Structure 1
Amino acid sequence: MDFDFSFFLVMATIVTGIIWGSYALLRRFQPAGAKEPVIVEYARSFFPIILIVLLLRSFLVEPFRIPSGSMMPTLLIGDFILVNKYAYGIRLPVLNTKIVDMGEPERGDIVVFRFPKDPTIDYIKRVIGVPGDRIAYFNKQLYVNGEAVKQTDIAEYQGVGQGNIMTGARLLSENLSGIQHDILIREGQPSVQGEFAVPEGHYFVMGDNRDNSNDSRYWGTVPESHLVGKAFFIWMSFDWENGGVAFDRLGTILN
């Protein structure tokens, strides 16, 4: 059990619900005209709000902030995204136990998951390999089950705002099982190479910023039980460098 924001949200729902419910049951024994205690007023006011937030965040969508450049150029530092919480099954908050099976990740999906080495930290990467796949990465080229994933060289990347840190990298378009997306590579910058087998119930993930991503090449695969949801939408983006909102990124559908 992780004592994260979900835990405190659940506890707040329980506490406010008990206070409000208990007073409602005992109210019949109160003298006529008795004033409602302040703590009950707060509980009555906050309980429905907290409950709605808990239900939305646990079973429908959850907002996340992008803290690093590992998914550039798809996602930039300062992006705020929405994650579909039921795409891969409905899970109980805090316990993270799946109660309804809704589907499984596919190659190309952008997923949020609890980092296997420290489940209190959320990571976001792209699914490269599904159970049973064999993944290889050599000389900046990705292979899935022995076949090279098609890459098309576009141009030298010219970053703007938060993307400036990767200006000069090579911008390529990659087609992963029909999912077209852009990636960045740094010529001459070493990265982990090798072949990897994806066991049952696990997923192999990589960042789109291939030479600046702490992913499955370094620490292994992601267990299905660690999945949080599928990222699908940028609802806000701040350009910290220029001190404003990056309006051109608002409303971007992720693929």
Structure 2
Amino acid sequence: MENSWKPKGWLSILYGFVLQPFTFLYVNKAKLFWFYFILTVLVSLIDTKLHAIPNKEAWYQSIYLTWIILIACPLHSFLVARRYDKSQVRKWYASWWATLVCFLVVFILMFLGRTFLFEPFSIPASSMSPSLNPGDQVIVSKKGYGNYKYLGMQIYKAEPSKALQRGDVVVFQYPLNPSIDYVKRVIGLPGDKVIYRNKSIFIKPLCLDESTDCPSFKEVEKKYKFTQKEDGSELKYYQESLGRVSYEIKLNSNHIDLTSRYFYQAGTMPDEWLIPDNHYFVLGDNRDNSLDSRYWGVVPESNIVGKVTFKW
């Protein structure tokens, strides 16, 4: 391409603020683009981890490391534009429109990926401890569950093509306030009868023909592991198993079952629930410190955002 071209300083500053790392494509510096792109991803992950748990006393709560990128990109790209060597070969991406196209392509791919495939979430509370603790980050697989949102905005709704299994950890819209996302473990499937009594779970699976071969209530197996004192309470840890899925739960020996506060379903005992079609019964692994289906009812299938597939 022509050797007389030189990037405009004002446009490099504008792109540095708006497009950030992509401004280095405009000033013909692909290596700097990749450096700042990777740095932006790493810094964003650190910021996410630091701010996952609100803590007003922490010095970093009002500070974001991504601000450094926001300042560094326009300044650095402006200096590169000012000192630009006209004799160097101008690459295809070094123009205002090509840089903009590159940004739009990457943004659209990220938008589609986050909306329809995978989305990160932060764990703000301890209701899923010890499996998931405050500050943990999880990746949720969304494909096939039909509830597609981007940054809280509903993009598309469809009939689910995937069914959840017992033991799956899922993110869903809280039925009493769909603007809030919850994370819990699936215990009961559509058609199941579930009992939570004396800190034990009993499940009677759906039986279509109600024949004599229909299974009766079966207690979910749990094996004692150890006891630990936390904040004056005696917490007992167990290994619980649902089918092929095993996970840890913890129970507070000083906490009684709050049966009087349980969600009441007509025709059942206070600690017993029949799961309707297209609904799920969910519990937190921190059984005595979890607001879940015992207290507000079952989760509609349409509220399921996705299944947790990765934690860091």
Q: Which residue of 2 aligns with 1:191?
A: 257
Query: Which of the numbers 120, 124, 141 marks the counterpart of 2:179?
Result: 120
Q: Which residue of 2 aligns with 1:148?
A: 219
Q: Which residue of 1 aligns with 2:104?
A: 47
Q: Residues of 2 paired with 1:88 and 1:98: CA distance?
A: 8
Q: What are the Cα deviations for residues 35-73 of structure 1, in whole angstroms up to 9, with x where unaligned?
A: xxx8x7886454223211211101111000000000000
> Does 2:130 align with 1:73?
yes
Helix, strand or coil for the counterpart of 2:258?
Answer: coil
> Does 2:193 align with 1:134?
yes
Q: Residues of 2 paired with 1:66 and 1:234: CA distance?
A: 10
Q: Which residue of 1 aligns with 2:289?
A: 212
Q: What are the Cα deviations for residues 102-138 of structure 1, in whole angstroms up to 9, with x where unaligned?
A: 3100100000001111111110000000000001011
- Relative to structure 1, the CA distance from residue 180 to residue 216 in structure 2 (aligned partners, 3 Å threshold; closer, same or farther) is same
Query: Which of the numbers 103, 114, 136 marks the counterpart of 1:57?
Result: 114
Shift of 1:89: 4.6
Q: Which ranges in structure 1 are unaligned for 5 or more consecutive residues?
A: 1-37, 159-163, 236-255
Which structure features the higher share of helix residues? Answer: 2
Q: Residues of 1 paired with 2:233 and 2:130: CA distance?
A: 11
Alignment of 1:217-228 (within 5 A): 217-228=294-305
Q: What are the Cα deviations for residues 134-193 of structure 1, in whole angstroms up to 9, with x where unaligned?
A: 0101111111111111111110147xxxxx669741000111122111100001302334
Amino acid at match of 2:185: R
Q: What are the Cα deviations for residues 65-109 of structure 1, in whole angstroms up to 9, with x where unaligned?
A: 00000000000101001001115357476144116x431001000
Q: Residues of 1 paired with 2:225 and 2:189: CA distance?
A: 28
Helix, strand or coil for the counterpart of 1:211?
Answer: helix
Q: Residues of 2 paired with 1:121 and 1:48: CA distance?
A: 30
From the CA coordinates, give the structure whose radius of gyration is larger. Answer: 2
Shift of 1:195: 0.3
Contact 1:72 1:184 survives alignment (8 Å): yes
- Relative to structure 1, the CA distance from residue 227 to residue 96 in structure 2 (aligned partners, 3 Å threshold; closer, same or farther) is farther
Q: Residues of 2 paired with 1:166 and 1:184: CA distance?
A: 15
Q: Which residue of 2 aligns with 1:233?
A: 310
Instruction: Provide TM-score, normalisation by structure 1.
Output: 0.69
Question: Looking at both structures, which has the greater relative contact order when contacts are Cα pairs under 8 Å and sequence separation is at least 6?
Answer: 1
Q: Residues of 1 paired with 2:145 and 2:236: CA distance?
A: 33
Amino acid at match of 1:79: D
Q: Which ranges in structure 2 are unaligned for 5 or more consecutive residues?
A: 1-95, 205-216, 260-270
Contact 2:234 2:254 survives alignment (8 Å): no
Instruction: Provide TM-score, normalisation by structure 2.
Output: 0.57
- Relative to structure 1, the CA distance from residue 49 to residue 165 in structure 2 (aligned partners, 3 Å threshold; closer, same or farther) is farther
| CA RMSD between the two structures | 2.4
Amino acid at match of 2:291: N
